[in-house]
Amino acid sequence: MLQPALPAAGHQTPGLTLSGIRKEYAGITALHAIDFEAKNGEFIVILGPSGCGKSTLLRVIAGLEDIQGGTITINGKEVTHQAPRNRDCAMVFQSYALYPHLSVADNIGYPLRIAGVARSERRRLVEETARIVDLLPYLDRKPANLSGGQRQRVAMARAIIRRPALFLFDEPLSNLDARLRVIMRAEIRQLQERLKVTAIFVTHDQVEAMTMADRIIVMRAGKIEQVGTPSDIYERPASRYVAEFVGGQPMSFLQGEITATGDAVVLSNQARIPLVEPMLLAAGTRVDVGLRAEAVQLHLAPGPRTFSARFRFSEYLGAAKIHHSTVDEVAVLSFDSTCGDIRDPNVHLEIEGSKIHLFDRESGVRLN
């Protein structure tokens, strides 16, 4: 990892390197020492709640904001002090920012006109690009006469026509309805894979992040909280913050304490969950035990490893049901692929020790 970057050989040069990026707005630190490296052609999603600094980071990469510290390298070329037009980035926003008075062809070809590309060459590249995004029949229309998905594709075509080194997306799907969002998610990902251009995609939507990313950067208050593949982030969230942010159903948290022997956790209701990998956790450590629905099984009768809970209701998902119960007033969800019906509210829950997440009660940091 610490060897000097090899010259040329495009696929080995990182697509983007950020080191020590710091951004301040009049006394507020919006980004604290951001370090990150994207491989060439990688699709990176920046995920986090509103105000955590996602757009600021994207604008810093594009050169639209000055920074107070750090360096930015795109495809092996340091661009920290370069103007936006010299960074070879193409940005797609939530508002597509299409010119309403220009045709689809002129919108797509706009960056080439600015760059002074001759009309005939422009026409050729516009047609080639329109074919890639399936807009060839619409070149003479105005944006007002297109569907939302088609407008999004015009914005994409305009972004790709110059074959940038880096795609930057700032919540480009937020204005679309749910069905179209699912379609465009796949379209953007397929297009990016075909063009093999490194992409940085900002969203606050964990489903978009999970379904689109090669790797996800989870941000919290101007810092990187965790970087990982979607399965890393889901299966081993580095903190309670990350655990609460990802997953289709909210994670439940029960309070517990590590036993004197260090090989089990005892919940506040005295239920004992053996820890599968023996962990070096100090006896008496106070933990939050994070449970996803797939870590919990609901039984109608008590068993050797169950504890009692009160059943509230079920959600039918087609292939499974999610049963909602409460334990000490905390909602605990359980996944049931048999879609069983529950009639007696007195139920018994069993926790799969290998699927629990332990977080330090005070710091929220993952312990297992």
Residues that bind ligand ADP (CB under 6 A): 25, 28, 30, 48, 50-56
Nearer to Mg ion, 55 or 75 (CB): 55
21-80 residues near Mg ion, rule: CB under 5 A = 55
Pick one of Mg ion, ligand ADP, none as the site partner of residue 51 (Cβ within 5 to 8 A by kind): ligand ADP
Instruction: Enter the DSSP assignment of 281.
Output: P
DSSP 107-137: HHHHHHHHTT--HHHHHHHHHHHHHHTT-GG
- Name the nearest CA neighbour of 159 among 174, 150, 169: 169
Q: Output the smallest distance, CB 246 to ligand ADP, in A.
A: 16
Q: Output the smallest distance, CB 54 to Mg ion, in A.
A: 5
Length of the chain: 368
Report H helices in 133-219. 148-160, 178-195, 206-212
Residues 6+ positions from 25 with CB-CB distance below 8 Å: none
Nearer to ligand ADP, 48 or 256 (CB): 48
Residue 78 CA to chain centroid, in angstroms? 26
Nearer to Mg ion, 175 or 269 (CB): 175
Q: Output the smallest distance, CB 69 to ligand ADP, in A.
A: 16
CB 309 within 8 A of CB 325: yes
Nearer to ligand ADP, 10 or 49 (CB): 49
Does residue 203 touch Mg ion according to CB under 5 A?
no
Q: Output the smallest distance, CB 67 to ligand ADP, in A.
A: 13
Burial (0-12, 13-18, 19+ Cβ within 10 Å), 311: buried
Nearer to Mg ion, 32 or 162 (CB): 32
Nearer to ligand ADP, 25 or 99 (CB): 25
Does residue 206 touch Mg ion according to CB under 5 A?
no
- Distance separating alpha carbons of residues 298 and 307, to the nearest angstrom: 10
Residue 102 CA to chain centroid, in angstroms? 34
Q: Output the smallest distance, CB 55 to ligand ADP, in A.
A: 3
Q: Output the smallest distance, CB 271 to ligand ADP, in A.
A: 39
CB 218 within 8 A of CB 224: yes
Query: Where on the chain is the footprint of Mg ion (CB under 5 A)?
Result: 55
